Structure 1
Amino acid sequence: MASLSRKFILGAGACAVGLYVAFLVVDRVHAVSTLRAQTNAGAIPDVSVVSPHRTSPKVSLTLPGNIDAWYQAPIYPQVSGYVKMWYKDYGAHVKQGDVLAEINAPALDAEYAQAKASLASVMAKYNLASVTANRWRAMGKSQSVSGQSVSVANANEQSANAEVQAAQRNVDHFEALERFKQLVAPFDGIVTARSVNVGDYVHNGGGGLNATGSASELFTVADTDKLRLFVSVPEVFSYVMQDGMTAQVTVPQYAGRTFTAKYLTTSKGYDPNTRTAIAEFVLDNPGHLLWPGTFASVALTAKNTDANL
Structure 2
Amino acid sequence: MHIDTAPSHPQPRPGKGRARVGLLLALIVLIAIVAFGMTGRASESAALQTWTEKQALPSVLLVKPLAVPQLPALVLPGRLEAWSRAAIFARVGGYLKSWKAEIGTRVKAGQLLAEIDTPELDQQLLQARADLATAKANATLAGTSAKRWQAMLASDSVSKQEVDERNGDLAAKQAQVMAAQANVERLTATKSFQRLVAPFDGVVTARTTDVGALINAGNNSGGQELFAVSEVSHLRVYVQVPQSYAAQIKLGSNAQISVPEYPKEVFMATVIASAESVSPATGTTLVQLQVDNQAARLLPGAYTSVRFELSAQAGVVRIPASALKYDDHGLRVATLDTHDRVLFKTVTIARDFGDSVEIGSGLTATDRIIDTPPDALSDQDAVQISSANAEGNPHG
Q: Do residues 242 (structure 1) and 250 (structure 2) align?
A: yes
Alpha-carbon distance between aligned partners in 2 of 1:84 and 1:306, rounded to the nearest angstrom: 68
Q: Which residue of 2 aligns with 1:24?
A: none
Q: Do residues 184 (structure 1) and 197 (structure 2) align?
A: yes
Which consecutive unaligned segments of at least 5 residues does structure 2 have?
Answer: 1-39, 41-46, 48-68, 316-360, 362-396
In the TM superposition, what is the alpha-carbon distance from 1:305 to its structure 2 partner?
7.4
Q: Do residues 77 (structure 1) and 85 (structure 2) align?
A: no
2:139 alignment partner AA: Y
CA offsets 1:229-270 (integer angstroms, 9 cap, x no match): 100111221112212211101111112111110111111222
Alpha-carbon distance between aligned partners in 1 of 2:202 and 2:172, rounded to the nearest angstrom: 50
In the TM superposition, what is the alpha-carbon distance from 1:226 to its structure 2 partner?
1.2
CA 1:119–1:173: 2 relative to 1, 3 Å:
same
CA 1:193–1:207: 2 relative to 1, 3 Å:
farther
Q: Which residue of 2 aligns with 1:156?
A: 169
Alpha-carbon distance between aligned partners in 2 of 1:181 and 1:98, rounded to the nearest angstrom: 13
Q: 1:91 aligns with which of 104, 108, 119?
A: 104
Alpha-carbon distance between aligned partners in 2 of 1:208 and 1:243, rounded to the nearest angstrom: 42
Alpha-carbon distance between aligned partners in 2 of 1:121 and 1:132, rounded to the nearest angstrom: 17
The structure where helix makes up a greater share of residues is 1
Q: 2:284 aligns with which of 273, 276, 288?
A: 276
Contact map agreement 1:83 1:101 (CA 8 A) in 2: yes
Contact map agreement 1:207 1:218 (CA 8 A) in 2: no
SS in 2 for 1:300: strand
In the TM superposition, what is the alpha-carbon distance from 1:132 to its structure 2 partner?
1.0
CA RMSD of aligned residues (A): 2.6
In the TM superposition, what is the alpha-carbon distance from 1:200 to its structure 2 partner?
0.5
In the TM superposition, what is the alpha-carbon distance from 1:304 to its structure 2 partner?
5.2
Q: Do residues 132 (structure 1) and 153 (structure 2) align?
A: no
Q: Which residue of 2 aligns with 1:122?
A: 135
Given the two structures, how large is their TM-score scaled by the length of structure 1? 0.76
1:148 alignment partner AA: Q
Q: Which residue of 1 aligns with 2:239?
A: 231
SS in 1 for 2:95: strand
SS in 2 for 1:240: coil
Alpha-carbon distance between aligned partners in 2 of 1:271 and 1:127, rounded to the nearest angstrom: 68
Q: Do residues 298 (structure 1) and 311 (structure 2) align?
A: no
Q: Which residue of 1 aligns with 2:119?
A: 106
Identity %: 38
Alpha-carbon distance between aligned partners in 1 of 2:176 and 2:311, rounded to the nearest angstrom: 71
In the TM superposition, what is the alpha-carbon distance from 1:144 to its structure 2 partner?
3.0
In the TM superposition, what is the alpha-carbon distance from 1:141 to its structure 2 partner?
3.4
Q: Do residues 259 (structure 1) and 267 (structure 2) align?
A: yes
Alpha-carbon distance between aligned partners in 1 of 2:238 and 2:148, rounded to the nearest angstrom: 73
In the TM superposition, what is the alpha-carbon distance from 1:306 to its structure 2 partner?
7.0
Larger radius of gyration: 2
Contact map agreement 2:74 2:310 (CA 8 A) in 1: no
In the TM superposition, what is the alpha-carbon distance from 1:76 to its structure 2 partner?
0.3
CA 1:304–1:123: 2 relative to 1, 3 Å:
farther
Q: Which residue of 1 aligns with 2:356?
A: none
Give the number of the structure with larger relative contact order, counting CA–CA contacts within 8 Å between residues 6 or more apart.
1
Write out aligned runs for 1:38-77 (5 A).
59-77=72-90
Which consecutive unaligned segments of at least 5 residues does structure 1 have?
Answer: 1-27, 29-34, 36-54, 210-214
Q: Do residues 197 (structure 1) and 210 (structure 2) align?
A: yes
Q: 2:297 aligns with which of 267, 289, 305?
A: 289
Contact map agreement 2:207 2:228 (CA 8 A) in 1: yes
CA offsets 1:70-121 (integer angstroms, 9 cap, x no match): 1100000011111010110000011111111111111111111111111111
